Structure 1
Amino acid sequence: MRRHLVVRGFVQGVGFRWTAAHEAQRLGVAGWVRNRADGSVEAVVEGDEPAVDAFVGWARHGPRGASVSSLDVTAQEPEHLASFDVEP
């Protein structure tokens, strides 16, 4: 399964992308994460349903120091990505 996430709140400058990559590796999911110009963080995650659901659950609070005010989650068709990348 594949989910597209947009995380809003105090989520930039707190290590969100790097912690997301660590969490993705721990869960065995693929995808990417990047900062957006509006101050939010955007991510795509693919994998088995329990692992993707766990990543989405983690994104609801993010790393220590983050303050997530909202999380938009959209289902997408999987693209069968092979890795998880941190984009600028």
Structure 2
Amino acid sequence: MLMLKRLFLCWLIVAPMFVRADETASTAKIVSHPPRRQSLPVVERPLDAEHLFFVDSRRGDDAGAGTLAAPWKTVAHAVRRLRAGDT
């Protein structure tokens, strides 16, 4: 009986070596469900300069104006500076 158990264990170890690579699960086609809802359309409207702010942690300064030329340093400062309608 012990010999039979050892033979079975050896078979469990050796058998996977004989499986061809194209028969493995990694090449099986994965089927998923269709999307539940459609993706939202991409909005491509230009931002006006009045509501356009910049933050740059490397070269920014929170004393700046938040413009491309003088960005703020931290997002926390930018959030404090925002007014209603800026986002």
TM-score, length of structure 2 as denominator length: 0.22
Report the structure, 1 or 2, having the larger helix content.
2
Larger Rg: 2
TM-score, length of structure 1 as denominator length: 0.22
Report the structure, 1 or 2, having the larger strand content.
1
